[in-house]
Amino acid sequence: MDLFRRHEGHQEVDSKSYWALGYSFEPLNDEQKHQRRENLDYYGFAAQWSVLIIFVLFQMSFGIRWIVTKGMRYEQPKSPSFNKGREKTLGWLKSLHSRYARTTWWMQKDVVQRGDWGTRGEWIGGTLWTAWLLYLCFVNTSPDYLHLTKRFGQIGASQLPLHYLLAMRTPYSPVQWITRLSHEQLKAAHQILGRIVYLLFILHAVFYFVFFAMSGFLAKRIKDWDVIFGIFSLTLFAAISTTALGFVRRRNYRVFYISHIAIANFIIVPMYLHVSHIRLYVYQIIIVECLHLIFRAIRLKMYQGTLRLLPGTNLVQIRIPLPDNHAALDWHPGQHVYLTRPWGSAKAPSYYQQWLMVNKSNPFTIASLPAVDRELLLVARTLNGNTKHLGALAQKLAQGGSGLPMLPTATGDIPILPIALEGPYGASNRLPDLSDFDKVLLVAGGVGATFVMPLYRAIAEYHDTTPGATQVRFVWAVQKLADTQWAFPDTQTEGEDERDEAREEAVGNGLLNKASTVEVYVTRPSGGSHNTAPSTSPIFAVDDDDEGEQFEMQENEQLLSMEEQMERPRKGMTVKSGQPKMGGIVDEVFSRGIRTAVICCGPKRLTEDLKRSVEVYVKKGHDVYWYDETFGW
């Protein structure tokens, strides 16, 4: 039971010993120790709740942006006497809005062109928050060296509940509500705060070891349980920080994922046993973790769907029919779900196999419009890990003999699989109403179109059909035309026929330009390798294992040549060869005095090329909304 008793404090040296920077090892009486403990609790409380200032700033920015936007859209009075003052106010608002847009754009630029060094805004925000926490560590501690040492640990521990809140995937997270940001958008703050906490804990440990060494207590204290649990906690923090590095995540996502989840849940035990002073924060972490598990369980649902390979590609397609009045019919375009590893057998899986299935999940963007198509469509490129398993399972099911119930289709019977999905998640439900913009430019690369295509279709399906409304241009770069077949199938269902009718109606009313067709740029001939490198950006599939070889697909020997593909574009597309020239496309879309939205999802090289082209117009003062759908962990 000694492990659970409160640690009353370290035995301190009997004489004053000077260290550095005005700090010394101060012998304190009981009253002074009690006062130090109250100060430690107070500044830990101040560090934890000072995040409310950031939340208030978010609300103020929302209010100011709303006022500026409403002011710029205010209908101009007919009286010339009113117009003069109105034009002056409008000019001031436009100038303010333009400066805000340019500043935001500058903050969102990467610090380093290549690599995972983050954006300028992340570095500025991280530096300011680090400086604030370090100030709280130092203020009113001199000349007590141990007070400073303890303050590092107290302030670091005070940030852990917020750190866990930022990692909450569920949209029920209070941080997501307050900031209006999704889990994907908040992950950078989670990573930055984790590094800050790790830094504070390192300082806490280093300063204590210096104290033990200089006071002659090192040999004794290193054997005490509170020190042992502190070292163990710091070791776990080092492990979780190392496996979270970008190159580790890219090389082996499963190592990152498992270590992150396991250590994050286990580390609360040695922290609880380390000292009693931080147990309040440990209790808060436990509450956050329990709520997170409950909210995730609420969003985990079982479905029935089909899995098959798309001919001539290394893409797998999952289709899940939705019954009437199903909650998924209300999901927003571009949201994503986490797909657990399907069980491709009529034999029920064991409890251990069920646990493995649930803990091997990947994010997939919903490529359909559930309310219109009455189904969920998921598309992924088979690479390694779970997507490789999906491809192998699709091949196995296509050979028959699975014992699963079958779904009759025009191309033959397809086995029906039980599929577990967790979601929906994503920031697309927080996108502005695209019909409010004069022009919308949508750009996708590869299966990044699983995010962009539903947005493109939603404009025609849901928005106003008034002549002269939003003009939309959709550019999609693929390596082979066969990669587009999930969006433009040869045979159309009743829902797809309705989709075409809505699209044609939108063309007639001026909603969609370019004859309502998607501009498909085919970058490679059909004979090239299908095992292409994954995009680093879109949430179409994130693989998790380090198996060296990629999934070997059965090639379609009758796949058309490039020239034949160009002669047979499917309905709704215009096919071009080569890489899209982003500079020219942006020049055609942008013009003075219009509001333009640019939304992209694809390989980093494509999105960076597009961003450089759009930046020219941002600097000129154009009203631009930019959104880049990314997924990095």
pLDDT tens, position by position, 276-315: 999 999 999 999 999 999 998 888 888 989 999 998 889 9
Give DSSP secondary structure letters for 536-583. Answer: SS-TT-------SSPPPP---TTPPPHHHHHH-PPTTEEEEES---HH
d(CA 390, CA 342): 8
Query: Containing H/E element for 442?
Result: strand 439-445
pLDDT tens, position by position, 437-448: 889 999 999 999
Please check whether residue 305 is in contact with residue 419, taking contact to mean a CB–CB distance below 8 angstroms.
yes
As a whole number, the mean pLDDT across the chain is 81
Checking if the pLDDT of 158 tops 70, the result is yes
More confident residue, 392 or 281: 281
pLDDT tens, position by position, 131-145: 999 999 999 998 999
Phi, psi of 120 (to 5 degrees): -60, -40
Residue 572: partners with Cβ closer than 8 Å, 6 or more residues away? 488, 500, 503, 516, 517, 518
Q: How far apart are the first and last CA of the chain?
A: 41
pLDDT tens, position by position, 112-132: 877 678 899 999 999 999 999
Please check whether residue 561 is in contact with residue 589, taking contact to mean a CB–CB distance below 8 angstroms.
no
596-605 mean pLDDT: 92
- Which range among 79-88, 150-159, 235-244, 591-600 has the greatest average pLDDT? 150-159
Checking if the pLDDT of 81 tops 60, the result is no
pLDDT band at 233 (very low <50, low <70, confident <90, very high): very high
More confident residue, 527 or 575: 575
Structure letter (DSSP) for residue 410: T
Model pLDDT, residue 141: 94
pTM across the whole model: 0.83
d(CA 196, CA 128): 11
Structure tokens at 396: 């196995």
Residue the block writes with tokens 């859209």: 73
77-83 mean pLDDT: 48
d(CA 587, CA 310): 36
Checking if the pLDDT of 564 tops 90, the result is no
Beta bridge partners of 593: none
Model pLDDT, residue 466: 55
CA trace torsion 247, 252, 254, 258 (10° rounding): -50
pLDDT band at 553 (very low <50, low <70, confident <90, very high): very low
Strands 375-381 and 406-407: unpaired
d(CA 24, CA 22): 7
d(CA 517, CA 413): 32
Phi, psi of 84 (to 5 degrees): -60, -50
